Amino acid sequence: MNMIFQEGHSMCLYSVAAVLTGLMTVLILVKKMKSKVKILKPSYDFDESTDPEILIVGGGVLGCTLATVLGRDGRKVTVLERDMKEPDRIVGELLQPGGFNALKELGLADCCEGLDAHVTKGYMVHDIETKRSVHVPYPQDKDGNILCGRAFHHGRFIMNLRKAAQAEPKVTFVEGTAITMIEDNGTVTGMKFKRKDADQMEELHAPLTVIADGCFSKFRKHLVNETVRVPSQFVGVLMKDCPQAKANHAEIALADKNLALIYQISSKCTRILVDVRGPKPTNMKEHMKENVAPYLPEHVQPAFLEEVETGRMRVMPNSFLPAAPLEKPGVMVLGDALNMRHPLTGGGMSVVFNDVLLWRDLFKSLPNTKDYSAILSALRTFNRERKQHHSFVVNVLAQALYQLFSATSEDENVHAMKLACFEFFCLGEEWVRRPVELLSILNPKPHLLIGYFFLVAFYSFFHIFKKNPWWALHRSVYKSVMVLFKSCHIMFPLVWSELNTLIFS
Ligand SMILES: Cc1cc2nc3c(=O)[nH]c(=O)nc-3n(C[C@H](O)[C@H](O)[C@H](O)COP(=O)(O)OP(=O)(O)OC[C@H]3O[C@@H](n4cnc5c(N)ncnc54)[C@H](O)[C@@H]3O)c2cc1C
């Protein structure tokens, strides 16, 4: 029976793959038939002795990584960063194994050293309502070693990335805030900026400007076709000496009206990110004590309550921005400025490192950055390949999983899927291996993601039928149809948000 089910499920996955491949081919053909962007040579004469080949705006995760990689390949790069002090933020702390592998491939794995970083080996998922927990380990390599991720203090990691970039002789950092893009004949030729603590405007010129100014990007409105949606916020608290349910495992706490992500980031500190939907509570402290703490795993509650009472609570928007770049000669937008997804799955930095991996190869085939048509063509290749390579899965999984995990019992159909998802995790490692390969970005295949999402939907039918008596068969059928309808309602717009940009952007 199990074998028939497994075979049927493989057939289903292959059909999804075939349909997706066909669809992608049609989309790419349509895209190819579209007219090209008009490129007019700028009148500005770049001075190779002073101007860099590439100007990167933003010395964060993407800016530093790209600068190091391009610098090592012999490119002259300038990074414009508004603040070179160690950042103090609640973002970018958990690096998935797939992101860590990409960092290794980029030759930057040592940036995770000397941070008192924590090695992560998987997740413990807690269903607070039923007081059950399930172990979801990361996959293993051929020799049986767990493919681990890393968790660290974001600021310390950024300082290591900056150090690596600054060690490259061809990379220069300028501490200043980018103000406006300089355009010449419709081509971007550089950036006006103000140095830190200075009022006077200065200019930096380069044939190619990379905008990597992060989630609150000031420049994306001119360069991308989509608007940012914010379904919720994460409230971050840093707890001291908080015990773990299982050593070296991040934790997800699922309650009816609460969702929290917990992971240790150094030997003493553990981050908790609590998802808050709707308007920000007027008294955050009381909200955390009364509405959140009782729905956290018991071993976390004392450290959480202590920090809520005496520590700092930080709020960050959980944004969703599908990648929809506009083509403009002389400029490209990358990182969070281009594409964001809910941070529940901790995929942002992994997307960045895998994007840089793609660009490292693409830049090797670009002899000079003044060849605007070659750059635009590389940009199209990048936007297509990143979807197949990693970004489709990270983006769609993060949004879909968030919609499931944040479902309350008021939305009974999605809630049924949330419960089925937990039960699916309980089926054991054999069943969760593939989904965890998607989550950890070790094998991010779009058809597997769609196939497993609907497998969970079908698995929820089984639970619906099991729960209802035989005489209420009509009710079970109706509920199952509604769950299927809801799952399509979640998945198809997300798939479309990834595919439509191949045609329309
Ligand atoms: C709440 C939250 C939690 C997250 N947790 C995780 C996680 O655990 N794991 C994970 O992988 N991802 C996580 N992410 C996502 C991750 O942080 C981002 O994907 C990643 O930091 C993007 O890198 P970036 O270089 O595009 O932006 P950033 O790293 O934010 O860098 C942008 C840089 O640009 C600079 N800058 C901005 N404006 C200007 C200007 N005008 N001039 C000059 N410089 C400028 C900034 O100072 C900054 O240094 C999280 C996101 C959120 C919101």
DSSP for 13-75, written as a single string:
HHHHHHHHHHHHHHHHHHHHHSPPPP----S----TTTS-SEEEE--SHHHHHHHHHHHHTT-
CB 137 within 8 A of CB 436: yes
Phi first, then psi, for residue 225 (nearest 5°) are -95, -5
For residue 20, pLDDT beyond 70? no
Are 427 and 463 within one domain? yes
Q: What is the pLDDT of residues 450-504, one digit of tens each?
A: 999 999 999 999 999 998 888 989 999 999 999 999 999 999 999 999 998 776 6
Protein residue closest via CA to atom 26 of ligand 1: 335
Residue 48 alpha carbon to ligand 1 centre in Å: 31
Q: What is the DSSP letter of 87?
A: P
Mutate to test the pocket of ligand 1, among 79, 91, 345 (most ligand atoms within 8 A of CB): 91
Q: How many residues does the chain have?
A: 505
Strands 187-195 and 201-205 come out as antiparallel
Atom of ligand 1 nearest to the CA of 96: 11
For residue 152, pLDDT beyond 80? yes
Give the pLDDT band of residue 5 (cuts 50, 70, 90).
very low
CB 335 within 8 A of CB 352: yes
CB 70 within 8 A of CB 208: no
Region 261-288 average pLDDT: 96
Are 75 and 184 within one domain? yes
Give the pLDDT band of residue 14 (cuts 50, 70, 90).
low
41 domain residue, yes or no: no
Query: How far is it, in rounded angstroms, from Cα 445 to Cα 267?
Result: 34
Protein residue closest via CA to atom 15 of ligand 1: 348
220 domain residue, yes or no: yes
> Across the chain, what does the average pLDDT equal?
93
Protein residue closest via CA to atom 23 of ligand 1: 61
Are 446 and 469 within one domain? yes
Protein residue closest via CA to atom 2 of ligand 1: 91
Residues 6+ apart with CB under 8 A from 156: 86, 115, 116
399 domain residue, yes or no: no
428 domain residue, yes or no: yes
**Ligand 1 contact via 81 beta carbon (within 6 Å):** yes
379 domain residue, yes or no: yes
Q: Return the CATH number at 330.
A: 3.50.50.60
Are 210 and 64 within one domain? yes
Query: How far is it, in rounded angstroms, from Cα 91 to Cα 316?
Result: 8
Helix (H) / strand (E) element for 119: namely strand 118-120
- Picking from 263, 289, 319, the residue at the C-terminal end of a domain is 319
**Ligand 1 contact via 352 beta carbon (within 6 Å):** yes
For residue 1, pLDDT beyond 50? no
Are 306 and 454 within one domain? no
**Ligand 1 contact via 54 beta carbon (within 6 Å):** no
Are 349 and 487 within one domain? no
CB 376 within 8 A of CB 329: yes
Atom of ligand 1 nearest to the CA of 336: 26
Are 93 and 213 within one domain? yes
Are 328 and 314 within one domain? no
Are 88 and 205 within one domain? yes
Q: What is the pLDDT of residues 319-369, one digit of tens each?
A: 999 999 999 999 999 999 999 999 999 999 999 999 999 999 999 999 899
**Ligand 1 contact via 59 beta carbon (within 6 Å):** yes
**Ligand 1 contact via 178 beta carbon (within 6 Å):** yes
- Sheet with 54-57: strands ordered across: 201-205, 187-195, 171-184, 77-81, 54-57, 208-211, 331-333
Region 27-48 average pLDDT: 73
Query: How far is it, in rounded angstroms, from Cα 357 to Cα 349?
Result: 12
Are 415 and 477 within one domain? yes
Are 187 and 335 within one domain? yes
Q: What is the pLDDT of residues 385-432, one digit of tens each?
A: 999 999 999 999 999 999 999 999 999 999 999 999 999 999 998 899
Are 163 and 298 within one domain? no
Protein residue closest via CA to atom 14 of ligand 1: 92
Residue 115 alpha carbon to ligand 1 centre in Å: 19
Region 89-114 average pLDDT: 98
Residue span of the structural domain in which 363 resides:
54-116+152-226+321-389
- Sheet with 118-120: strands ordered across: 94-95, 149-151, 118-120
Mutate to test the pocket of ligand 1, among 68, 69, 82 (most ligand atoms within 8 A of CB): 82
Give the pLDDT band of residue 4 (cuts 50, 70, 90).
very low
86 domain residue, yes or no: yes
Instruction: Give the per-residue pLDDT at 429.
Output: 87
Mutate to test the pocket of ligand 1, among 78, 94, 191, 213 (most ligand atoms within 8 A of CB): 213
Residue 340 alpha carbon to ligand 1 centre in Å: 10
45 domain residue, yes or no: no
For residue 86, pLDDT beyond 50? yes
The total number of structural domains in the chain stands at: 3
Instruction: Give the per-residue pLDDT at 190.
Output: 98
Protein residue closest via CA to atom 30 of ligand 1: 214
Mutate to test the pocket of ligand 1, among 57, 61, 355 (most ligand atoms within 8 A of CB): 61
77 domain residue, yes or no: yes
Residue 49 alpha carbon to ligand 1 centre in Å: 32
For residue 37, pLDDT beyond 80? no
